[in-house]
């Protein structure tokens, strides 16, 4: 792969991956349902907790104002807390089941990929291995397949959870206050722009990292496999020089990709904090007006 090269046909590749997942569509669907269920329970939790907070606040205010028969209804709060325990337990259990099922699916698909690749390699002509280094071939069997497996195990469930969270939280916010919801949504375009900015630049370096990693693996494998020949022709200096060059390229691409991807969390946290402050100020203003 050329450093920074984009997929030639992402749609076709995605369809082929989905075709590969067809034998596992039932457990995959089950995992997605549990992922959505876990997220839904997690969204409902704060809403239920808000009821307990309201009861506690109203009782405390009534006591401060010396109202007749003012008291905090701890029995009602206790019942709400029991429901909260059940809700969050279900959320955790569903998340565990989703992770367990999806891990099994990802490992089976990775096993199938490696099996198919091994069968394919045995049918390839010798000219292919003359054009490709051993390390690049090994990288496709190991690193690339591991990347696909990790994506299936982690990203797919996170995608469903994120979509469910977005829809569920939006509904919850609208039921509380549409004005505050609009204020919170103002940060969405800013967040999208920053994510696009970071991903667009980190993608190039992640591609370079995978490409150079294959070259490093190929060089190391060839040097160790042909150590006697390399020594016989006094190729130590050239081998070390080439390794140093590849290692420097790998360091540069890996550092840049990790740095840019690591920026995502603090940037999102900063934008989230700004949105939080805006919502707090607006919420306080609306509360005072009441």
Q: How far apart are CA 71 and CA 61, in angstroms?
A: 9
What is the pLDDT tens value at each position of the chain, 290 positions in all? 444 445 566 677 778 777 878 888 888 888 888 988 888 898 888 888 888 888 888 888 888 887 777 788 888 889 999 999 999 999 999 989 988 888 888 888 888 888 888 888 888 888 887 777 776 777 777 777 887 887 777 777 777 788 888 888 888 888 888 888 888 888 888 888 888 888 787 778 888 887 888 788 877 877 777 777 777 777 788 888 888 888 888 888 888 888 887 887 888 888 888 888 888 888 888 878 76
The count of other CB atoms within 10 Å of the CB of residue 66 is 7
The Cβ-side half-sphere exposure at 182, using a 13 Å CA radius, reads: 2
pLDDT of residue 6: 53
Of residues 148, 180, 163, the one with CA closest to residue 13 = 148
Token pair for residue 29? 């669907």
Span 1-164 CATH architecture: Up-down Bundle (1.20)
Question: What is the SS3 assignment for 186?
Answer: coil
- Statement: the pTM of the whole predicted model exceeds 0.85: no
The count of other CB atoms within 10 Å of the CB of residue 74 is 12
Which sequence spans correspond to the domains of the chain? 1-164, 177-290
Question: How far, in Å, are 22, 39, 95, 151 from residue 31 at the CA level?
Answer: 14, 12, 9, 14
Residue entry with tokens 């109202």: 67
Contact 133, 216 (CB under 8 A): no
pLDDT of residue 1: 43
Question: What is the SS3 assignment for 210?
Answer: helix
**CA gyration radius for the chain?**
27
Q: How far apart are CA 103 and CA 99, in angstroms?
A: 6
Q: How far apart are CA 217 and CA 228, in angstroms?
A: 19
């Amino acid at each position: 792969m050329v450093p920074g090269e984009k997929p030639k046909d992402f749609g076709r590749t995605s369809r082929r991956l989905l075709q590969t997942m067809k034998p596992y569509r039932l457990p995959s669907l089950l995992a997605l349902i549990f992922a959505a269920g876990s997220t839904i329970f997690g969204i409902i939790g704060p809403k239920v907790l808000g009821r307990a907070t309201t009861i506690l606040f109203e009782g405390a205010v009534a006591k401060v104002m010396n109202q007749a028969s003012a008291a905090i209804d701890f029995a009602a709060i206790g019942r709400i807390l029991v429901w909260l325990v059940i809700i969050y337990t279900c959320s955790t259990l569903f998340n565990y089941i989703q992770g367990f099922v999806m891990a099994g699916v990802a490992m089976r698909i990775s096993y199938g990929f490696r099996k198919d690749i091994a069968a394919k390699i045995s049918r390839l002509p010798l000219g292919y291995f003359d054009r490709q280094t051993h390390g690049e071939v090994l990288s496709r069997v190991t690193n690339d397949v591991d990347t696909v497996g990790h994506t299936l195990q982690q990203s797919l469930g996170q995608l469903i959870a994120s979509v469910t969270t977005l829809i569920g939280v939006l509904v919850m916010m609208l039921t509380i206050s549409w004005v505050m919801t609009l204020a919170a949504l103002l940060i969405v375009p800013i967040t999208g722009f920053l994510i696009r900015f970071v991903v667009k630049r980190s993608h190039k370096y992640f591609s370079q990292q995978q490409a150079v990693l294959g070259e490093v693996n190929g060089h190391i494998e060839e040097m160790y496999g042909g150590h006697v020949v390399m020594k016989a022709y006094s190729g130590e200096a050239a081998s070390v020089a080439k390794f140093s060059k590849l290692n420097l390229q790998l360091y540069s691409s890996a550092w840049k990709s990790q740095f840019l991807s690591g920026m995502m969390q603090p940037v999102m946290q900063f934008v989230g904090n700004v949105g939080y402050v805006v919502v707090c100020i607006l919420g306080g203003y609306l509360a005072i007006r009441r």
